Copies of this chain bind each other. A is one copy, B any other.
Amino acid sequence: MIERTPMLAQSIPDVIRTLNALSGILEKGAASAQARKIDPLVLTSARLAPDMFPLTKQVQIACDASKLGLARLSGIEAPKFADTETTFDELQARIVKTIDFLRTVTAESLADAEDKVVSFPAGPDRVLKLKGRDFLYQWVIPNLYFHTTTAYNILRHNGVDVGKLDYLKGADLLP
């Protein structure tokens, strides 16, 4: 009999893969700024619309969606990060810290998470509830992909040479 990792725990490598892909996309952003002699802060503070979050905040939220999502599901307390990053290096450090936390979330801690009710804030005045499975697959992971893709789009819009395979990088391809 094959022991399978519980469904929710199977997602952790996918989340880490995506954060690593985001890291690679940011590396290309930093390299592009250097090559084109652009102040890197122009890129890290770039937005797609004046009332949308800049690149820094997109990365912060991609990290926090992952970190707080898995913390709520596992019951393991997540480290707090001050939202003070402005440079590419600082954003990379936040991704590393987030992945470090995700690696502490064990399959055992998620064994009963599928059916548990998760309450979480959505905006300043609202608390929502989802079943654990739905919280992960309808909220946490869509949020991670949303902010990773938006970070990608901000850089792509600003002339950074990223492609979709940078975003999909790290899939467990078979030979």
Contact = CB atoms under 8 A, between A and B. Distances in A.
Interface size band for A: 35 or more
A171 B138 contact: yes
Contacts of A75: none
Contacts of A18: 142
A129 B173 contact: yes
B130 A146 contact: no
Interface string A119-160: 000100000111101100111011101100110110011010
Please tell me how many copies of the chain the complex holds.
2
A137 B5 CA distance: 15
A117 interface: yes
A24 to B, nearest CB: 14
Interface in A79-135: 117, 122, 128-131, 133-134
B173 A130 contact: yes
B14 A157 contact: no
A52 interface: yes
Contacts of A138: 14, 17, 168, 170-172
Given A49-B157, A146-B164, 10 more contacts: A11-B137, A18-B142, A49-B156, A128-B173, A129-B175, A130-B173, A131-B172, A139-B171, A146-B167, A150-B153
